[in-house]
Structure 1
């Protein structure tokens, strides 16, 4: 009788060991994904803001800087979406991660880890930019017409001085906040729709790049187009190190704006894709049922 019980007694610790091993594998995968988000955000901030800062140092006009910066951000996001999309989801933006959590695509732990990773990546990217381009420039050593406002802040986000001059500080801030809400709404809505189960995933990266390009180009003269709290915070901190305090004073606009916009984008997504996808909050099916339905649909084709 004792011999019959022995295999069962031995099976308990083995099962526990397998469960612990699975947990370790999951955390290892999550760690790798976080590294991907750090790298992706760092690349986005360094190259995107570097394009604006570098052109400003060489005396480019505001129009030229706006066109080049918008194209650079769009191209980088497109490249990153194909490089990281299948593994991390290529959020590289806390507002996007927040929307994915609201839609039920990720859990709160992943949301927090991704957000932390993106903030770290934004700071690293801005620090790399400082390392590449330097700081405390002498205007006489730069090209004629160099925009010191962009250079000294590393293309940090800030409400346009024209808006503040016309509507006052409070009025300019309100316009800047609503602009950031709108920019994030459009961008995050595009992401949610193109990443839907029924969307054409092969073209999603191009759609994201075009969306960000148009948003950055439109918003460049309003707020510099933040949309991404990690990008805004990273460059604002480096600007502070360089003695520029205005970007960090206005950072709340570029944190709350994108988060509010992401929330509104999620609501719009639910309205458009109502009951059309497994991520809708009204979808009460459990994950097993969803998988079975997918298998059945493939077999019936």
Structure 2
């Protein structure tokens, strides 16, 4: 069985995350630019969700066989916590994902121009009237659902060939209820990359909110890993042992 080298895996993760950010996050300012001053609608949110989903599906099939297509530090953390990835590979994966997120955000500015920055650059931020507690819960729940689907879809007992669709549609579904609260980052790299790029180009960045995103996503990922471990645990031999038949003498 062929095994890709570490540089190949890291390059794949960087490129995959860059594509996710460019297409998914880039769809946010693109929608604002095309829509102008028109009110933001559920149909527009649906198109943004679809952009994220299709980017994930495409990358799963493009680089999944190279690096596993985590393209999300929360997924990498959960895979390591469930012993599906050696911990020694985690720092490299996460560094590649953060670098890719910055590259993807830079590509958004390169393609759409500074008007993308003026439109917010898709930077994750709390919605109107949302506090840290509500934002934490939204990101933790959203990340939990996404990571649980990832772990289940790539498991040995999962239906082969459908992981990309399952994960992509999970992203699509999670964004719908979470985006009005936090912008639905559910990915530390997706949260940080546009923030760094927005800062470089004079955009509005709420740095004080970043720790909530990172902590909530980490908690959601670890919780998903723990739940998945419980769900896939096989019963012990003692638990499934059939009772011995009762002899006539014992019954009398």
In the TM superposition, what is the alpha-carbon distance from 1:201 to its structure 2 partner?
A: 2.4
Looking at structure 2, the residues matched to 223 and 201 of structure 1 have their Cα atoms a distance apart, in angstroms, of 33
Q: Is 1:242 the counterpart of 2:201 in the alignment?
A: yes
Query: Residue 201 of structure 1 is aligned with which of 140, 154, 160?
Result: 160
Tell me, what secondary structure is at the counterpart of 2:210? Answer: coil
Structure 1 contact 194–207 (Cα < 8 Å) conserved:
yes
Does residue 1:160 correspond to 2:136, yes or no?
A: no
Q: Which residue of 1 aligns with 2:53?
A: 74
Q: How does 1:1-301 map to 2 (within 5 A)?
A: 29-59=5-35, 61-63=39-41, 64-135=43-114, 137=115, 151-163=118-130, 172-275=131-234
- The 8 Å contact of residues 233 and 248 in structure 1, kept in 2 or not, is answered as no
Shift of 1:93: 0.3
Shift, 1:83, TM fit: 1.2
Cα deviation for residue 32 of structure 1 reads: 0.5
Q: Normalization by structure 2: what TM-score?
A: 0.87
Distance 1:235 1:223 in 2: 14
**Aligned-pair RMSD on alpha carbons?**
2.0
Distance in 1 between residues matched to 2:134 and 2:170, nearest whole Å: 21
Q: How many residues were matched structurally?
A: 232
Residue aligned with 1:233, SS: helix
> How big is the shift at 1:61?
3.8
- Give unmatched runs, 5+ long, in structure 2: 237-252
- State the alpha-carbon separation in 2 of the partners of residues 61 and 269 from structure 1: 40
* Alpha carbons 1:123, 1:237 under 8 Å: kept: yes
Give 1:245 shift.
Answer: 4.3
- TM-score w.r.t. the length of structure 1 is 0.73
**For the pair shown, which has the larger CA radius of gyration, 1 or 2?**
1
Unaligned runs of 5+ in 1: 1-24, 138-147, 164-171, 277-281, 283-301
2-structure distance, mates of 1:246, 1:50:
16
